[in-house]
């Protein structure tokens, strides 16, 4: 039977102090319980997600506050991050035989790292209405089965960026279905409006943020808001990784140029200005996607910016001829303070209908070196023939 709390009238000072002590104790227990409830996501190494799903008409987020980092006590060691570019896995019922796992099997060993990430350029789900008219031949929408998430996790991918121009192909319901599939597979994700995702590796707290044009994403065109999010994340994490889905698309747009980039009449962001601003705000690594080709890499204030990692998988969806099919896996090791501790680019090529495979010709290395020298002569990244990044 539920008991009624006794009146506090006439309590002694000692009784009142004891009641306050018990109340504070209960509050601590509730906090511990809340943290424990959030631990369901920790199977993927997720510490917490702050401000998730502030999209139009979405349910208000349950914001969990993460304690600031104590800069007097720094963890030691490092984290190896493996990063890939744009990933799709078919659409409209067209899927690779054996699913996403079969598509990535040939590069599975190169994907293994402390934290493997990529840009999920597709929704996950089925049976939803898309943004495209049924008879349209110029509108592109991507959707893969929800089982794709489990296959990605099995292949070693632990976190994805969901901020891109295909994240809203099936509306808000499609976004929610995608999020649910990723959560079920214990894959962390970043890029929803107002979202910062925190993960832990080797006692090091990592913040992930994703940005792309459009209010259904964490909007890359709102630079002041992006800077504030990164600043806050840098106070709560040992280092910050920022994903940008920015720039015009295709082989004609391999070069990074200053100023706003346009594609199909849309503003696709100013990649250089944005990347520099978030590094100034505290980002330690910037990973680009969107142009569907490799782009230059730049050292800026000692931090690495990879402006586009190209296509990583594109089963019957993405163009893979010529430079569109040349890609790689960027493996970067960062120390606990976010500083560069080593890295290399593993060259790949897309074959068949968009399957990544090791590239014996190592074409990606020459392409990145040429573009980096041309576009960022004073901050260029140079890759050795082995793919190793010179510090």
Encode pLDDT of 345-385 as tens digits: 999 999 999 999 999 999 999 999 999 999 999 999 999 99
Q: Torsion over CA of 27, 30, 34 and 36, rounded to 10 degrees? A: 120
Phi and psi angles of residue 171, each rounded to the nearest 5 degrees, phi first: 70, -170
pLDDT score of 66: 84
β-bridge partners, 289: 245
Locate the domains of the chain by residue range.
12-44, 45-375
β-pairing verdict for 285-289 and 303-306: parallel
The CATH superfamily label for domain 45-375 reads Metallo-dependent phosphatases (3.60.21.10)
Rg (CA), the chain: 23
250 HSE (CA, 13 A, CB side): 5
What burial letters (b/e) apply to 201-231, b meaning 16+ CB within 10 Å? Answer: beebbbbbbbbbbbebbbbbbebeebbebbe
pLDDT score of 57: 42
Q: Measure the CA angle with vertex 365, ends 363 and 368; round to 5°.
A: 110
pLDDT score of 16: 54
pLDDT score of 14: 52
Any idea what DSSP says for residue 10?
Answer: T
pLDDT score of 181: 97
pLDDT score of 95: 77
For residues 289 and 292, give the distance between their C-alpha atoms in angstroms, rounded to a whole number. Answer: 7
pLDDT score of 91: 80
pLDDT score of 128: 73
Any idea what DSSP says for residue 212?
Answer: B
Ranges of the chain with pLDDT below 50: 1-11, 25-26, 28-44, 53-62
């Amino acid at each position: 039977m539920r008991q009624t709390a006794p009146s506090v009238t006439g309590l002694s000072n000692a009784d009142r102090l004891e009641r306050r002590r018990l109340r504070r104790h209960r509050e601590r227990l509730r906090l511990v319980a809340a943290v424990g409830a959030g631990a369901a996501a920790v199977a993927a190494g997720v510490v917490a997600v702050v401000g998730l799903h502030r999209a139009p008409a979405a349910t208000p987020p349950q914001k969990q506050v993460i304690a600031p980092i104590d800069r007097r006590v720094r963890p030691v060691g490092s984290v190896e991050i493996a990063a890939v570019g744009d990933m799709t896995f078919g659409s409209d019922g067209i899927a690779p035989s054996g699913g996403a796992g079969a598509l990535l099997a040939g590069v599975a060993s190169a994907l293994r790292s402390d934290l493997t990430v990529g840009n999920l350029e597709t929704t996950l789900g089925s049976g939803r209405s898309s943004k495209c008219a049924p008879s349209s031949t110029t509108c592109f929408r991507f959707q893969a089965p929800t089982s794709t998430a489990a296959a990605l996790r099995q292949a070693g991918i632990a976190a994805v960026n969901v901020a891109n121009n295909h994240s809203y192909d099936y509306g808000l319901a499609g976004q929610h279905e995608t999020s649910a599939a990723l959560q079920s597979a214990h894959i962390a994700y970043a890029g929803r409006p107002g979202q910062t995702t925190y993960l832990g590796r080797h006692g090091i707290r990592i913040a992930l943020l994703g940005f792309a044009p459009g209010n259904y994403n964490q909007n890359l065109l709102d630079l002041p808001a992006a800077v504030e999010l990164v600043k806050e994340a840098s106070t709560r994490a040992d280092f910050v990784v920022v994903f940008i889905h920015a720039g015009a698309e295709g082989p004609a747009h391999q070069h990074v140029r200053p100023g706003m980039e346009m594609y199909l009449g849309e503003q696709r962001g100013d990649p250089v200005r944005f990347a520099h601003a978030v590094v100034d705000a505290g980002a330690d690594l910037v990973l680009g996607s969107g142009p569907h080709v490799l782009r230059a890499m730049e050292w800026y204030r000692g931090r690495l910016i990879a402006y586009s990692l190209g296509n990583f998988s594109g089963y019957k969806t993405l163009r893979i001829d010529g430079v569109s099919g040349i890609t790689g896996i960027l493996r970067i090791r960062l120390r606990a303070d976010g500083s560069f501790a080593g890295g290399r680019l593993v060259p790949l090529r897309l074959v068949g209908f968009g399957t990544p495979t090791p590239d014996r010709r190592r074409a990606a290395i020459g392409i990145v070196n040429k573009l980096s020298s041309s576009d960022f002569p004073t901050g260029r990244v140079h890759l050795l023939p082995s793919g190793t990044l010179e510090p």
